[in-house]
Structure 1
Amino acid sequence: MTDITSLILDDHDRFRRAFAELDDLDSPDELARAWAPLATLLDLHAAAEEAVFYPELIQRGADAEDETLDAVGDHNDIRDAVAETRRHPAGSAAWQAAVRQARTANSEHMAEEEDDALADFRRHAGPGLREELGRRFLAFKAEHEDGRGIDTGDVDPERYVAKQEEKAGKDTPQDGSLGIGGLKER
C-alpha cells in the first residue's frame, strides 16, 4: 500500500526504533554509525513532507494552515538539532544534547502530526489521492535517499504556507498576513 498517511506513519515507527537503538550504544563509532542514517532520514522525511504532503493538506484540511505552520516550525527545530550534531564528535556531551533535542522535537512533531494533520487529511482526501501522493512521496525519497539534493536549511513557515496557497490558487492578502484572522473570535 502506498497511502501517504501510512508511509508517513511507517517513517515515524522507524524514527522511534532508531532513537531507541541509540539508547543501547556506547562507543562513539557505534553511535556515529547508527546516527548517520537516522539524521539523513529525519532531514529527508521533512523535505518529502514539505514537497508532497503539506501542499495537499493546505488545499483540503479543516485546520490545514495552522497544522502546516506548526509542522514546518517543528521541521526547523528537528533540522537545527540534526545540524548541531554535525558540529560535535559522536558521543560527546554536546552531541548527546543535540541528539536529545532532535529526539524531543521529533517526538512532539510526530504526536501532533498523527493526531492532527494525518487524521485531518484522511478525513478530507480520498484513497486515490492518498495513493498518488504516496507514490510521489516514495519517488521523492528514492531520488534523495542519500540526503543529497535536499535543502536542510530552515523554512519560513508563513512564507511556505503563503507560497503553497498561491500555487493552489487561493487568494492571499497582499499585506503579508496569512488571512486566517485571530483566534480570539473563534
Structure 2
Amino acid sequence: MAAATTDVVNLILDDHRRFEALFAELRDTTSDRAAVRAELADLLVAHAEAEEEAVYPQLEAKNASTKHDVAHGEREHSQGNAALLVLLEIEDSSSDEFEDALEALFEAITHHVNEEELTLLNDARTSLRARDRATIGRAFAAARKRRLKGHPGAVEHVREIQNRVGLGELDTASLRFLAAARGIEGRATMTKQQLLQTLAG
C-alpha cells in the first residue's frame, strides 16, 4: 500500500484542505491578508499546473478518468485563475471589492474541489493500484515543488496564464463567472460574444 505522503489522492486532498484553511484566514480581517493572499495564490497556481502536467494526463492514459472529466478540470482551473487574477489586482484588502472578489474565488475553488474529489480523485482511488497512485503522486509533488520555488501566484504570472489560455478558450459559463468577479452588470443575459467584448474592453 502506498504511503499517505506519496499517494496522489492524499497529496491533492492535503492541498484542498490547505486551500480551505487559507480561505478562512483571508476572511479574517485581522490577518495579514496580503501575505495570506500571496500564499494562497502560489499554492493554487502551483497545484493546478502540477495537476495538469503530472496527474491529469496519467489518469486519462491509465483509463482512471475520462477525457471529458480532465477537460472539465482544466476549464475549472481557468475559471479559478480568472477569479484569482481579479483578487490579486485589488490593492485595498479592506474594501468591499476585495470581499466580493474573495467570495467569487472561494466559490470557484470550492466548486472545483468538490467536483474533483467526487470524480477524478474518487476514480483514481478505485481504479488505480496503490503503486500507480504513488508514482503519480511523486511526479505531482516534484512538479508542484518546482513551481513553488518561484512565485507562481504573482499577478504578472497569473495574468500571463490567463492571456495564454485566452478569453476565447473559455466557455460562456466561465466568461460569466469572470464577469461576475469583475462586477459587470447584465452578464446573465449576455451572449458569449458580448461577454468577450465586455471583458476585453
TM-score, structure 2 as length reference: 0.70
Tell me which residue corresponds to 1:20. 24
Amino acid in the other structure paired with 1:24: D
3-state SS in 2 of match to 1:144: helix
Percent identity, aligned pairs only, is 32
- The answer to whether 1:103 aligns with 2:99 is no
Q: What is the rounded CA distance, in whole Å, between the counterparts of 1:125 and 1:80 in structure 2?
A: 32
Amino acid in the other structure paired with 2:61: Q
Encode CA deviations 1:84-114: one digit per residue, 9 max, x unaligned: 1221112322222222111111000010011
Amino acid in the other structure paired with 2:21: R
Tell me which residue corresponds to 2:13. 9
Tell me which residue corresponds to 2:81. 79
Query: Is contact 2:54-2:140 (8 Å) kept?
Result: yes
Q: What is the rounded CA distance, in whole Å, between the counterparts of 1:84 and 1:23 in structure 2?
A: 16
Encode CA deviations 1:12-71: one digit per residue, 9 max, x unaligned: 0101111112222247xx211111101110111110100111001112346511211211
Q: What is the rounded CA distance, in whole Å, between the counterparts of 2:12 and 2:65 in structure 1?
A: 19
TM-score, structure 1 as length reference: 0.75
Tell me which residue corresponds to 2:143. 140
Q: What is the rounded CA distance, in whole Å, between the counterparts of 1:18 and 1:10 in structure 2?
A: 12
3-state SS in 1 of match to 2:90: coil
Query: Is contact 1:4-1:131 (8 Å) kept?
Result: yes
RMSD over aligned CA atoms reads 2.2
Q: How many residues align?
A: 156
3-state SS in 2 of match to 1:19: helix
Q: What is the rounded CA distance, in whole Å, between the counterparts of 2:139 and 2:64 in structure 1?
A: 23
Greater per-residue helix proportion: 2
Q: What is the rounded CA distance, in whole Å, between the counterparts of 1:21 and 1:67 in structure 2?
A: 31
